[in-house]
Amino acid sequence: MKIVVWIEFTSGKVKASSLETLGSARLLAESASGEVIGVCCGEGAGEVSTTILSAGAHRIIVREGDSLANAHSDAFATELSQVATSESADLVLASATSSGKELIALAAGGLGTCVASDCISISCEDDSLITERPIYAGKAHHRQKWITSPAFISLRPNYGEQVERDAATVDSQEATGKSVLKRTAFVEGSRGKKELTEAEIIISGGRGLKEPQNFALLESLADVLDAAVGASRAVVDAGWRPHSDQVGQTGKTVSPKLYIAVGISGAIQHLAGMSSSRTIVAINKDAGAPIFSVATYGVVGDLFEVIPRLEEELKSVLQ
Amino acid sequence: MKIAVCMKRVPDTATRLTFAPDGQSIDTSEVQWVISPYDEYAIEEALRLRERHGEGSVTVITVGSSSSTKELRQALGMGADDAVLASCDEPLDPIQTARTLASILESRGDDVVLFGRQSVDSQGAQVGALVASLLNRPFVNDIAAISIEGDQVRIEREVEGGREVIEGPLPIVVGADKSLNDPRYPKLKEIMMAKKKPIEMVTPEPGAAALETIAFTPPPPRPDGRIVGEGPEAVKELIRVLREEAKVI
């Protein structure tokens, strides 16, 4: 089985979610006597490839060229589908980040097929690829079998496994993908904001914070834990937090290693968006709040007393 | 300006799901259906584009159950001019849905085709991109702003670390994010008028599937949790279990 893996990087650094995708591809390849081919495209791709030689790929294809300067994702999708075709890939994998999902869908569409999107497991049974993905923000799981080839799959961040293997060989090629769209400007955000769907730790706040400025408590705790800050729908609808912070079925579905829900009662559409997190901590003064039904660990209490204490204790413990 | 919006009816997000006994489907008999929330932003933006340009038409298109006429009427009540329904009661996979939409869109000559960034049921975030690829038109998902000047389009969207501006020529296919606008509520008069607006019925052309359903299942139950304590005194124990049991910090 030939597996082609899209490698995503920003500012010269490969994303952790791409390392997980490479690792999962390698483990799958080892169970099916396959080969893993990493694809690294765009400005700086050659240098980036040298940082991931032992991350699980047998070979890494680097594609650089002027046509990719300020290009939109369709140019990169063309590179990916060209490699998938020239390598006769059985499986094309990407991490299910925002840009990964856009790119792999364009690449799949270009080859007349679709994607099993945001999967939490991929297996090979009787020569068929089987995928499992949460739908309805996790209220249901959908198991599917691929009946055409190549399969295109995106893997949910925090669901893969990084590996270390012998160094890959690198093959440099000229990029040819073109885009009719150009990125003409980029305005940096005020904070170096972590993308919620890729964060390992998320601290989310709800109505219990009482006022928008009280989110500073969570921001401060987030700095100690190197976490991202999320929000419930209620506070996003109230205009306290930007919509991009919303966790839930009408916001982002997240699966971090640790999810801390602060002052969130736990409406069904919020629970749907975060209940696949590995460990869930709920901090709420109402012991009957539904959030406690999904929490691994609960603290019943006033968040305005608990959060500052938590930050203080964590600072001394984590030093 | 000719505009099309592809929309989907989905179970309301407050719905609790029940599963068919054979695991092959989700039991929808008790479901309250709505327009997928992100598609409402797409419809609203289409109406605003038409209003800003002072002329043009907005067509809403859906693939799915014949009962989708209810949600199409709702979009017509918001102000869309006409609708197309590719009625299909069999489940389709994403490429089958995309082929059906592409066959409807191919000859229409829309300047802009809008989707929601993803549906809130199957959440693939891909049908817009697939349709754009099939039609060989450019695609941008998660858009936060769009403006059109002549045959040029300017789009803004939130990406990791900031906001990017993307520019290029029409035609284009986009996916609407929540920050795009606040969708209007149809007024009673408009709802009455919408009853007279045309809904064209077409036969879907899905082609062969790429994926086959094995089963729909409830998510695995979460392991039982516990209350570690009350108030700030519980913090020490919380940190201990996070480090020693869960090993997450």
Q: Which of residues 127-186 of A touch B (CB under 8 A)?
A: 130, 134-148, 179-186
The sign one gets for the Cα dihedral B157, A188, A242, A275 is positive
**Structural contact between residues A38 and A54, judged by C-beta atoms closer than 8 angstroms:** no
Closest chain B residue to the Cα of A181, Cα to Cα: B168
Quote the pLDDT of residue A193: 66
Reported as a pLDDT band with limits 50, 70 and 90, residue A314 is very high
Residues A263, A210: Cα–Cα separation, whole Å: 9
Size of interface A-B (CB pairs under 8 A): 274
**Please, what is the angle between helix B94-105 and helix A98-110, to 10°?**
70
Mean pLDDT of chain A: 95
pLDDT at B236 over 90: yes
Residue B217 belongs to a domain: no
Residue in the structure block whose two tokens are 């994702």 = A73
Residue B108 belongs to a domain: yes
Residue B130 belongs to a domain: yes
Domain containing B23 equals 2-202
> Could you tell me if the ipTM is greater than 0.90?
yes
Residues B42, B59: Cα–Cα separation, whole Å: 12
With an 8 Å Cβ cutoff, is A224 touching chain B? Answer: no
Residues A290, A269: Cα–Cα separation, whole Å: 12
Facing A258 at nearest CB: one of B123, B158, B248: B248
Quote the pLDDT of residue A190: 53
Q: How many domains does chain B have?
A: 1
User: Average pLDDT in the A142-157 region?
Assistant: 97
**Peptide linkage before B221 cis (omega within 30 of 0):** no
The sign one gets for the Cα dihedral A235, A239, A242, A246 is positive
Q: What is the pLDDT of residues B121-140, one digit of tens each?
A: 999 999 999 999 999 999 99
Beta strand A140-146 pairing with A128-135: antiparallel
Q: What is the pLDDT of residues A265-278, one digit of tens each?
A: 999 989 999 999 99
Q: Does B230 sit within 8 Å of A145, measured CB to CB?
A: no
Quote the pLDDT of residue A188: 82
Question: For residue B215, which amino acid is it?
Answer: A
pLDDT at B29 over 90: no
With an 8 Å Cβ cutoff, is A17 touching chain B? Answer: no
pLDDT at B101 over 60: yes
Percentage of residues in chain A with pLDDT exceeding 90? Answer: 91
* Chosen from B148, B160, B226 to mutate, greatest number of chain A CBs within 10 A: B160
Could you give the domains of chain A?
A: 2-174 (3.40.50.620), 196-318 (3.40.50.1220)
Residue B211 belongs to a domain: no
**Structural contact between residues B121 and B12, judged by C-beta atoms closer than 8 angstroms:** no
User: Average pLDDT in the B214-243 region?
Assistant: 95
**Please, what is the angle between helix A98-110 and helix B127-135, to 10°?**
40
Reported as a pLDDT band with limits 50, 70 and 90, residue A152 is very high
**How close, in Å, is residue A169 to chain B by CA atoms?**
30
Residue in the structure block whose two tokens are 């795009």 = B180
* Chosen from B211, B239, B242 to mutate, greatest number of chain A CBs within 10 A: B211
Residues B51, A218: Cα–Cα separation, whole Å: 42
**Structural contact between residues A121 and A111, judged by C-beta atoms closer than 8 angstroms:** no
Percentage of residues in chain B with pLDDT exceeding 90? Answer: 88
Q: Does A250 sit within 8 Å of B214, measured CB to CB?
A: no
Minimum mean pLDDT among A51-60, A113-122, A185-194, A223-232: which range? A185-194
Residue B237 belongs to a domain: no
DSSP code per residue over chain A: -EEEEE--EETTEE-HHHHHHHHHHHHHHHHTT-EEEEEEESTTHHHHHTTSTTSS-SEEEEEE-GGGTTB-HHHHHHHHHHHHHHTT-SEEEEE-SHHHHHHHHHHHHHTT--EEEEESEEEEETTEEEEEEEEGGGTEEEEEEE-SSSEEEEE-TTSS-----SPPEEEEEE-----S-EEEEEEE-SS-PPPGGG-SEEEEE-GGG-SGGGHHHHHHHHHHHT-EEEE-HHHHHTTSS-GGGBBSTTSB----SEEEEES----HHHHHHHTTSSEEEEEES-TT-GGGGT-SEEEES-HHHHHHHHHHHHHHHH-
User: Average pLDDT in the A78-100 region?
Assistant: 97
Quote the pLDDT of residue A187: 87
Residue B221 belongs to a domain: no
Residue B210 tokens read as 């790429």
Beta carbons within 10 angstroms of residue B248's beta carbon = 19
Q: Counting every residue, how long is chain A? A: 319
User: Average pLDDT in the A145-165 region?
Assistant: 96
Quote the pLDDT of residue B160: 80
**How close, in Å, is residue A32 to chain B by CA atoms?**
21
pLDDT at B158 over 90: no
Residue B163 belongs to a domain: yes
- Name the nearest CA neighbour of A26 among A163, A199, A174: A163
With an 8 Å Cβ cutoff, is A189 touching chain B? Answer: yes
Residue A167 tokens read as 């160094």
Residue A215 tokens read as 């989110």
User: Average pLDDT in the A41-45 region?
Assistant: 96
Q: Does A139 sit within 8 Å of B242, measured CB to CB?
A: no
Facing B95 at nearest CB: one of A113, A136, A279: A113
- Name every residue whose Cβ is closer than 8 Å to that of residue A120 and which is 6 or more positions away in sequence: A132, A133, A134, A141, A155, A156, A159, A255, A276
Q: What is the pLDDT of residues A181-240, one digit of tens each?
A: 999 999 887 555 678 999 999 999 999 999 999 999 999 999 999 999 999 999 999 999
Quote the pLDDT of residue A194: 75
Quote the pLDDT of residue A106: 98
Quote the pLDDT of residue B14: 86
- How many degrees, rounded to 5, is the angle at CA B125 between CA B122 and CA B131? 110
Residue B216 belongs to a domain: no
User: Average pLDDT in the B103-127 region?
Assistant: 97
Q: What is the pLDDT of residues B57-99, one digit of tens each?
A: 999 999 999 999 999 999 999 999 999 999 999 999 999 999 9
**How close, in Å, is residue B194 to chain A by CA atoms?**
27
Q: What is the CATH number of the domain that holds B69?
A: 3.40.50.620
Range A214-223, long-range pairs (CB < 8 A, 24+ positions): A214/A304, A215/A240, A215/A241, A217/A303, A217/A304, A217/A307, A217/A308, A217/A311, A218/A262, A218/A307, A220/A311, A221/A307, A221/A310, A221/A311, A221/A314
User: Average pLDDT in the A121-128 region?
Assistant: 93
**How close, in Å, is residue A103 to chain B by CA atoms?**
8
Facing B239 at nearest CB: one of A117, A140, A317: A317
Facing B235 at nearest CB: one of A130, A201, A313: A313
Q: What is the pLDDT of residues B159-182, one digit of tens each?
A: 887 899 999 999 999 999 998 999
pLDDT at A43 over 90: yes
- How many degrees, rounded to 5, is the angle at CA A233 between CA A227 and CA A234? 115
